[in-house]
Amino acid sequence: MIKKLKQNISISYVYNFFLQLNITSAIWVLYLAFKGMSLVEIGLLESIYHITGLIFELPTGALADLYGRKFCVVLGRIVNVISCILMITSSSFLGFAISFVLSCAAMNLNSGAAEALIYDSLKELGEEEKYKKIWGELAFVMSIAQGIAVLLGGILADIQFLYAYVFGTVIQIVALIISFSFNEPHIDNKKVKSKRENQNKKEKIVINQLITSINVLKDRKIVLYLIMFSALVGSLQTTVFFYSQQYFSDLNYTKTKIAIICALGSLIEAVSSKYAYKIENGLKIKGILLGTSIINIIALAGLAFIKELSILFFLLTSVTGGLAFTIFSDYINSRIPSEHRATILSFDSLCFSIFMICIFPLFGLLAEHIGFSITFGVIAIFYIPAMLFLMLKLRKHKNLEINK
């Protein structure tokens, strides 16, 4: 069993590499525009994606806790392949909307389950202290994969969009095949096991799992506010990353050049992820929170007012993305129990979806009417008070945690 659990870590590197080798990530906004979608429709499609996440994220996390991490990871890859096929064959808003729903459902099934699978494998081995370093290395691998993917995607899209989407589908099939190699870690939760044997009470089990996990967050509010801060940083970086495709296109950059910029951003994110644990040792969590906030404000302001340096400011958001992804994950995982880990980690993704539902379509609407530059400035204005509020809450509950 020990050997199988160690294999989970090795398999995770390969699996996450192919999972993140999404060669359409730097061209999907351009692809939808090519297919006749407006910026508002693109924003609505992304909102549909995250509304799906809002509905399914917690239930899929509970399913991972109840029926196994591997089960949800494999199912997620199957659903994702179907979504890829729909993106190729669709030509209407409805068709793309269905594809986005399935894509998000696949992400939901994978998100908390894959992370919990790694952490609980390490915990059973008695090596959970290695999680931050391993997760940083995984983030490095994923960022490298993203960098390669966006570069390939841009080059193929300059030839023909169809080539990029067909190749992307093949890669996701490879990720599906690899997912079958995972081994389910043992979770010492007799109550959950006994409930699993009673098939007539499945719905009640899921509801109880959700309620219990919510109560855990009520008792550990520092986790709740850290999840919200992580979601805020993640949604900001994601919005900038995706809409910058059209922003740079409006500056007359070719798809290949846009892909190179995005690939460089992924490389920077990879390096910051890999060495995040070292940076955190020096700055501590307070310094990371403050640093990521300041850098993001500078980046948004730069994109708004200094077009000549827009690439530099775009790349700055990649630095904060790498740091936040690794450090926040470790900080959250160390404060939640294993039997509710996947559910609470899914709540992390749910908060990200809420922010994206609000920010992404608003950004598209504003960009279509007042232009990208002013829109970046407007988003910065909204970001500052939200960041200050969450930092104050984290400071308060951190002090309470220390006193306990």
Express each pLDDT in 186-213 by its tens digit: 665 544 444 444 444 555 555 665 676 6
DSSP category for residue 198: -
Say if residue 70's pLDDT is above 80: yes
Q: CA 256, CA 153: separation in Å to the nearest integer?
A: 8
**CATH top-level class for 7-182+213-403?**
mainly alpha
Tens of pLDDT, residues 317-353: 888 777 776 777 777 777 777 766 766 776 777 788 7
Q: CA 140, CA 62: separation in Å to the nearest integer?
A: 28
pLDDT (mean) for 45-50: 88
Please state the pTM of the whole predicted model: 0.68
CA 134 to chain centre: 17
What is the CA angle 17-44-371, rounded to 5?
95
Residue 101: which of 55, 59, 58 has the closest Cα? Answer: 55
Q: CA 301, CA 77: separation in Å to the nearest integer?
A: 38
According to the model, what pLDDT value does residue 169 have? Answer: 93
Q: Are 343 and 112 in contact (CB under 8 A)?
A: yes
Angle between helix axes 341-370 and 221-250 (nearest 10 degrees) is 30
Tens of pLDDT, residues 84-125: 999 999 989 999 999 999 998 898 888 767 777 787 788 877
According to the model, what pLDDT value does residue 200 have? Answer: 46
DSSP category for residue 182: -
The two three-digit tokens of residue 326, written as one number: 């690794």
**Which ranges of 20-38 does DSSP label H, i.e. alpha helix?**
28-34
Q: Residues in the chain, how many?
A: 404
**Which ranges of 198-309 does DSSP label H, i.e. alpha helix?**
202-219, 221-250, 255-274, 276-305
The two three-digit tokens of residue 163, written as one number: 């080539």
Say if residue 255's pLDDT is above 70: yes
Angle between helix axes 310-333 and 221-250 (nearest 10 degrees) is 160
Quote the mean pLDDT of the chain.
81
The two three-digit tokens of residue 368, written as one number: 């279509």
Say if residue 53's pLDDT is above 80: no
pLDDT (mean) for 37-56: 87
